[in-house]
Structure 1
Amino acid sequence: MFSLADVRFLPEQPHHAAAIEAIADEAFGPGRFSRAAERVREMAPHDPSLSFVAELEGVVIGSVRLTPIRIGTTPALMLGPLAVRPAYKNKGAGKALMRLAADAARDTGERLIVLVGDPPYYAPLGYRSLPPGSVIMPGPVDPRRLLGLELQEGALEGIGGAVKARRRGLP
């Protein structure tokens, strides 16, 4: 048994890549490559400075990544994958990673994070449903699972358009 107090949360480093891929494979299986969110991640690389891992006794047990995107002309970040090894789920590591990533993004001036996920899990972290049809993903997505988090008040107002890649810091 472990305590969240025993987990170290660290910025993602290149040597974490293999562990992160293994965790995503374990969490989502081979079907993850057919998801619309994966199409977004193929368009643009994630930003390692806004991506984090959870380590327990030197072993990566979870990770979260943020990818710079545009929604229409609005700069945003796409969260995902967020994954925690099954033996460590439901202990708070995933939510801690989410908060850490959102705080880091806010601190760098980012205004908005979007993701595809389960509303009951993400709503307590401030994510809310986006208006159906407002954000066009590069593949089919259940509109009830498309969620956004304002890092700055009003960032979701009038959001709309197709999701495209962007380099961080640029519109």
Structure 2
Amino acid sequence: MFVLKKESPEDWWEVEALFDLCFAPGRTALSSYRLRDDVPPVAALGRIARDENGILGGAIRYWPVRVGQADVLLLGPIAVHPTAQGEGLAAAMIRDSLAQAAESWDRVLLVGDLPYYKRFGFFRLTGVEMPPPTNPDRILGFDLRPGAWEGICGSVTRVA
């Protein structure tokens, strides 16, 4: 059994090691990381999952970005340790963090597989451009407030 809790500063390096394990150390070369350079994650939304022995099983983070003039949350990375995959941990972290995000934000963006993320309410965005070489079919959005993505388009840029 895993317990979800807010990520603390003391969890940082252990979470980074989990992301490296799940995505390889070269993950930071991805274009989405240029949106995160020198920008802290949204600390209130970072979640981790630990088992009864305190072992880290999963983590999720969000980052502030802009699409045109709109403030947007960029979901990711999200990772589950290989020994804990298939137990619904990612789904629990996504649902928990989206519920928290809805208290202060209007919309969420992620780059991912629609067949997986549509069960949470994500949909394909059109008119939103991630830095290349992102596949436009993988640019997904989620409304934290009804209609929050309506009329939002443009390039995704980092928060200065």
TM tier, smaller: over 0.9
Amino acid at match of 1:166: V
Name the structure 2 match of 1:29. 24
Q: Is the contact between residue 67 and residue 79 of structure 1 (CA under 8 Å) also seen in structure 2?
A: yes
Amino acid at match of 1:24: F
Name the structure 1 match of 2:134. 141
Query: Normalized against structure 1, the TM-score is what?
Result: 0.88
CA distance in 2, matches of 1:127, 1:32: 23
Structure 1 position 43, deviation (Å): 5.1
Q: Is the contact between residue 43 and residue 164 of structure 1 (CA under 8 Å) also seen in structure 2?
A: no
Name the structure 2 match of 1:74. 70
CA distance in 2, matches of 1:145, 1:93: 22
Structure 1 position 122, deviation (Å): 0.6
Please show how residues 78-89 of structure 1 align to structure 2 within 5 Å: 78-89=74-85
Structure 2: runs of 5+ lacking an equivalent: none
Please show how residues 115-126 of structure 1 align to structure 2 within 5 Å: 115-126=110-121
Residue 159 (1) aligns with residue 152 (2): yes
Q: Name the Cα RMSD after superposition.
A: 1.3
Query: Normalized against structure 2, the TM-score is what?
Result: 0.94
Name the structure 1 match of 2:87. 91
Amino acid at match of 2:55: V
Encode CA deviations 1:53-86: one digit per residue, 9 max, x unaligned: 0111211110000111110101110000000101
Count of residue correspondences: 159
Moved runs in structure 1, 4+ residues, more than 3 A?
none
Name the structure 2 match of 1:54. 49
CA distance in 2, matches of 1:34, 1:43: 14
Aligned to 2:140, what secondary structure does the other structure show?
strand
Q: Is the contact between residue 111 and residue 155 of structure 1 (CA under 8 Å) also seen in structure 2?
A: yes
Structure 1 position 166, deviation (Å): 3.2
Structure 1 position 138, deviation (Å): 2.7
Structure 1: runs of 5+ lacking an equivalent: 1-5
Amino acid at match of 1:51: G
